[in-house]
């Protein structure tokens, strides 16, 4: 893999992680009415699980987006991307909850009051929202990020990537020294 590809993947990862953080903050304000809460376990405005999820979705679903699949004369690619996103993100969220519980003793969300949930870790409503989010990533965010990368000065993109990687790495390395009080427990 070339250095440019790694850079582009990292920038896409960070974009999805940032957008995931924004999404979670907005959910806290408007859906659960908790007000502003930094929903992540790191200091910066990003959630790595959304970064990994975005990269996984892009890797798995771009072939579906790029290959027009028809049932009769009706294109079903959009619907397939939505359904596949629901499935992939639900599995990722479930695995992520177990991983966080193993590492930190708890996970950052609780769907136990939601309709059609499993152990409070996953729920139908969140899966639908993630399906919609996947459509946004595949049809809007991914093309927009790569458009920006191509149109901006390559040296500026490289410098920005290095600075972003340093900040993210410092956040990952130093977070354990400041405790794991991410849920107020």
The closest of 170, 39, 165, 37 to 100, measured between CA atoms, is 39
> What does the H/E/C string look like for 27-64?
HHHHHCCCCCCCCCCCCCCCCHHHHHHHHHHHHHHHHH
How many CA atoms within 13 Å lie on the side-chain side of 38? 10
Where does residue 179 fall: left (phi above 0), alpha (psi -120 to 50 degrees), or beta otherwise? Answer: left
pLDDT at 108: 76
Three-state DSSP class for residue 159: helix
pLDDT at 182: 47
The closest of 76, 68, 118 to 93, measured between CA atoms, is 118
The closest of 79, 23, 43, 36 to 174, measured between CA atoms, is 43
Exposure string for 80-110, b = 16+ CB within 10 A, e = fewer: ebbebbbebbbebbeebbeebeeeeeebbbb
- pTM value is 0.83
CA distance 79 to 69: 10
Query: Phi, psi (5° rounding) for residue 71?
Result: -115, 105
pLDDT at 184: 43
pLDDT at 178: 62
Q: Rg for the chain (alpha carbons), in Å?
A: 18
- The parts of the chain modelled with pLDDT lower than 70 are 176-185
């Amino acid at each position: 893999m070339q250095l440019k590809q790694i850079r582009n993947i990292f920038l896409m990862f960070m974009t999805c992680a940032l957008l995931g953080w924004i999404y979670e903050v907005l959910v806290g304000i408007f859906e659960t009415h908790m007000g502003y809460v930094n929903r992540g376990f790191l200091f910066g405005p990003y959630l790595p699980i959304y970064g990994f999820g975005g990269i996984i979705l892009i890797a798995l679903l771009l072939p579906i987006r790029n290959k027009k699949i028809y049932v009769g004369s009706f294109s079903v690619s959009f619907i397939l991307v939505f359904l596949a996103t629901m499935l992939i993100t639900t599995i990722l969220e479930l695995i992520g909850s177990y991983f966080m519980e193993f590492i930190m003793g708890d996970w950052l969300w609780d769907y136990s009051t939601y309709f059609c949930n499993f152990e409070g870790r996953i729920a139908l409503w969140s899966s639908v929202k993630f399906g919609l989010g996947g459509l946004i990533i595949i049809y809007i965010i991914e093309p927009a990020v790569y458009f920006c990368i191509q149109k901006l000065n390559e040296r500026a993109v490289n410098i920005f990537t290095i600075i972003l990687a340093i900040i993210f790495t410092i956040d990952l390395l130093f977070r354990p020294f400041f405790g794991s009080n991410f849920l107020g427990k």
